[in-house]
Amino acid sequence: MKKLLHIDSSVLGPHSVSRQVSAAIVDRLRQTNPSLDITYRDLSATPLSHLSGAHLAAAQGAASADAGLAQDMAASQAVLAEFLAADTIVLGAPMYNFTIPSQLKAWIDRIVVAGKTFKYDAQGPQGLAGHKRVIVAISRGGFYGAGTPAAALEHLETYLRGIFGFIGVTNLEFILAEGIQVGPEHREKALAGALEAVTNLRAA
């Protein structure tokens, strides 16, 4: 049975465009494969803490009497296990201040782990997650595509391409709704275009 991991990171709840699009992606994949085993994680409702020196020390085997740290390390292991088990990851990623939400960065810091999703050898870093399919629903308030005046400020899609590429993911797909803060009419047009693109996704 194929496993799908659905991640949302927007803080806007039902008003979020990225959440609407990521949900539509999951629905589309479920239609193509009704037996999909789906795990959902909402990084806004249940955020992960950001990495600290104590996290890194514990990961290296240092003992700690901090119960909160132990709980957080257990959460880290659960997040990594979810990612490793998934065949497909659907990720809702809105642009906040030109890049990803901090909640999403905290999640990424838990899955980019030496020996688990990448390793170093004589040739340099080697990704270990190359068999996974990652589909990203991106929402952007303005226009940041190639050739636009704000293109140099686009650090969301470029970052995600870089970090997933680092861990070996080459099967990376993006569905984009942009200009959603330009006005209500354009927001609806951008959302409709993204939802239409969802219908063209290949089967899970």
The answer to whether 144 is annotated as binding is no
The answer to whether 98 is annotated as binding is yes
How many Cβ atoms sit within 10 Å of the Cβ of residue 66? 11
The answer to whether 49 is annotated as binding is no
The answer to whether 164 is annotated as binding is no
Residues in the chain: 204
The answer to whether 139 is annotated as binding is yes
The answer to whether 16 is annotated as binding is yes
36/6 Cα distance (integer angstroms): 12
DSSP per-residue letters across 54-95: HHHHHHTT-----HHHHHHHHHHHHHHHHHHH-SEEEEEEE-
The answer to whether 96 is annotated as binding is yes
Phi/psi class of residue 183: alpha, beta or left (left: φ > 0; alpha: ψ in -120 to 50)?
left
Phi/psi class of residue 101: alpha, beta or left (left: φ > 0; alpha: ψ in -120 to 50)?
beta
The answer to whether 120 is annotated as binding is no
The answer to whether 140 is annotated as binding is yes
The answer to whether 142 is annotated as binding is yes
- What residues form the annotated binding site for FMN? 10, 16-18, 95-98, 139-142
Binding residues: 10, 16-18, 95-98, 139-142
